[in-house]
Amino acid sequence: MAVSPSEKTVGVAGLGTMGAGIAEVCLRAGFNVRAYEPSESLLHGGQASIEASLGKAVKRGKATAQERDDALARLLPTTSLADFADCHAVLEAVTEDLDVKARLIAQFDEAIDADCLIATNTSALSVTAIAGASAHPERVVGLHFFNPAQVLPLVEIVRTDLASDVAIERAQRLVEEMGKTPVHCGDTPGFIVNRILIPLLNDAVRALDEGTADPASIDAAMTLGTNWPIGPLALIDLIGIDVQVHASDALWNAYRETRFAPPPRLRRMIDAGHLGRKSGRGFFEYETR
């Protein structure tokens, strides 16, 4: 017997940095959240990340202890997609790999209600290609959150040629109920923000390689000279060196313009394990716990 989807229940698949952040956004907006990872170890790590972030919100006065406890009470960690059966929307936030995302989207079809909205959080991949893995691509949209999802207000709603008007309307309503600001765009490589931002960040790395200035001076120039809240090299560290390279590769493959190609320095940093904030070292050094 099919389970009727609840208008206040969403599923989030993938509890890495972005997935855990999206799950927290949903919890703080009052949704019940089914949080999925395929293994217990990954699930526990994602759950711990959500709990730690909510704890920080309490310490900073952004939430009360009661709000934290209520949010965590609405969280159901699971290793089974069958627990997505009562969701009215499911969001995938797994690794930025087309095959991995497509396989998961196909699995969603077997687990969710026929009326459930499907969203992918890809930052640079083709939403159309991901949607094509579903038997019902008309209900698949792109919802591109930005890191940290708990803080940044923007969500790009990406429409494919296959998406229905109903799916887009539901996606907008969902984003607004999360307390975020939606901006609509087509399924072009990089959408809006990354189409402009990724080559700019790569240019900052090239300026460093050319000896223009050291990392601190480059970032100071952009924060003080253009009123950026964070410098470009610190931003790459926040995004993750590996994520920057993945996004750059996707845009390079689409446009074949030099500015989109990741500078070799970034690949060397990945080889050295210097991934930015998450590893404790990128263009700058950070404390890790």
Hey, which residues are catalytic here?
Answer: 123, 144, 156, 194
Q: Which residues of 241-269 are buried (b: 16+ CB within 10 A; e: fewer)?
A: bbbbbbbbbbbbeebeeeebbbbeebeeb
User: Is the distance from CB of 124 to CB of 96 less than 8 angstroms?
Assistant: yes
For residue 92, give the nearest of 12, 32, 170 by alpha carbon: 12
Element (H, E) at 155: strand 154-159
Strands 6-13 vs 87-92: parallel, antiparallel or unpaired: parallel
Element (H, E) at 119: strand 117-120
* Bridge partners, 33 (sequence order): 10, 75
Q: Tell me the Ramachandran region of residue 115: left when phi exceeds 0, alpha when psi lies from -120 to 50, beta otherwise.
A: alpha
